[in-house]
Amino acid sequence: MKKLTICLLALAGVGGIAYWSGQQYPGKIAFWKSGPAAVAGKSGPPTTAVVATRNINFAVTAAGDIGPLDAVSVRPEIGGLISKLTLDIGDKVKKSEVLFELDDKDLQTEKSSRKTEIAGARLAVLTQKLQLEKAKLNFDRVKGLFESKLVAQEAFDNARIDHDLTKNSLDIAMNRLETAQTALQQVEDKLLKTVIRAPFDCTILTRPVSVGQAVSGSSGFNSGTEVFTVANLADMIITSHINQADVIRLKVDQAVTVEVEAVAGLKLMGRVARIAPQATFRNGVKGFSTRIILKNAEGAVRPGMTANLSIPLVSVGNVLAIPLASVFSDQGERFVYVRKDDDKFERQLVQLGVADFDFAEVTKGLKGGEVISLIAPPSKANAGQTEGVKSGAAASAK
């Protein structure tokens, strides 16, 4: 009786362990129930697929950085002290509105001096004109008398020299007047440059200076002091690095779907504006810098955000399709292995159309509902015929 009780307890313990194992390790309970064959059937990837209709959309995907289409570093053309600076980061400004002003007191003083010089030069010119007119009359009179031999050669020469000197004095006075007028124009041009205006409708991005700070002009050797960075945030650009294998499929004005990582659910539309003609390396990958333009993006995104791009290339709907893993090649021919009624697989040539990274359109060679192998059947007849599995865009139609 004791032996029977011990056996029953042992069986109960084994059963409990088996139940606990099934709860903790679900894959193990199948082994307990059906043996190793059941475990093998449950694990591993599928080995066959069915030819069926589906939609195929192939698009190039990439990431890029968002930035303004137009951004300008605002620097004064002349040096001076900032006398007016009311704008700050984030302020919006219309084209030609005043951004800041420089102190113009010294220039106003110089302008007054130039005007005084011009008045004096004009008076000098008027005086010399009168002197020249008088000298000319005297020269003409003496010349007539000299031709009539009524005056000596010396008198004629003196009249001629006096006329020429007066004419030269008038030329000098006129040159001085022109110089004074040019100097006044230069001062007035500088005065205009003390008021700096917005080059276009823009938003202030940076303002590294303050009122009263001395700034240098951009005409100097150091390119001047940056007072503002302004940008047009209505139109943005995305700079992306497109892989060399994909860039040959792109073209200018192609539509682009844009998702912004920082704004969940936001989708924008852009277009390809430029594709660099020369490849560059980024993170060890050779590709081409591509610019995408976003129109009317102000308020939705900001410079510096990361954008995920999808550029649709080809799209077909409701076509027969097979997994790319089922496609093999041999000496330029593409084929699959089709299951027949006797459960054996036979090689079948196929023609493919549009493909994405997972599926390819079948244009010839298969019918809907047929079962194909995802691996090469392990028979001697098929050995050595498979060069490899095509995947990704490499399986697109030819």
pLDDT in tens, 272-325: 999 999 999 988 889 999 999 998 787 788 899 999 999 888 888 999 999 999
At residue 235 the predicted structure's pLDDT band, cuts being 50, 70 and 90, is: confident
Those residues whose C-beta lies under 8 Å from the C-beta of residue 334, and which sit 6 or more positions away, are 327, 328, 349, 350, 351, 352, 390
Q: What integer is the mean pLDDT of 225-240?
A: 93
In CATH terms, is domain 234-314 a member of 3.50.50.60? no
* Region 48-56+316-395: CATH code: 2.40.420.20
pLDDT in tens, 131-143: 999 999 999 999 9
What are the φ and ψ backbone dihedral angles of 192, each rounded to 5 degrees?
-65, -35
CB 271 within 8 A of CB 254: yes
At residue 196 the predicted structure's pLDDT band, cuts being 50, 70 and 90, is: very high
Question: Which of 15-37 are b and which e, b meaning 16 or more Cβ less than 10 Å from the residue's Cβ?
Answer: eeeeeeebeeeeeebbbeeeeee
What are the φ and ψ backbone dihedral angles of 40, each rounded to 5 degrees?
-65, -35
Secondary structure of residue 64 in the 3-state scheme: strand
How far apart are the C-alpha atoms of 264 and 256, rounded to whole Å?
18
Secondary structure of residue 222 in the 3-state scheme: coil
In CATH terms, is domain 76-103+194-226 a member of 3.90.230.10? no
pLDDT in tens, 157-188: 999 999 999 999 999 999 999 999 999 999 99
**Token duo for residue 311:** 């550029």
Q: What integer is the mean pLDDT of 370-394?
A: 55
CB 209 within 8 A of CB 89: no
Beta bridge partners of 280: 287
CB 151 within 8 A of CB 143: no
Closest among 74, 99, 104, 72 to 218, alpha carbons compared: 74
**Token duo for residue 224:** 């001047």
Largest CA distance in the chain: 178
Least-confidence region, from 33-37, 49-53, 262-266, 286-290 = 33-37
CB 339 within 8 A of CB 326: no
Q: What is the pTM of this model?
A: 0.62
Which residue ranges make up each domain of the chain? 48-56+316-395, 76-103+194-226, 106-191, 234-314
How far apart are the C-alpha atoms of 76 and 6, rounded to whole Å?
100
Closest among 344, 348, 350 to 379, alpha carbons compared: 344
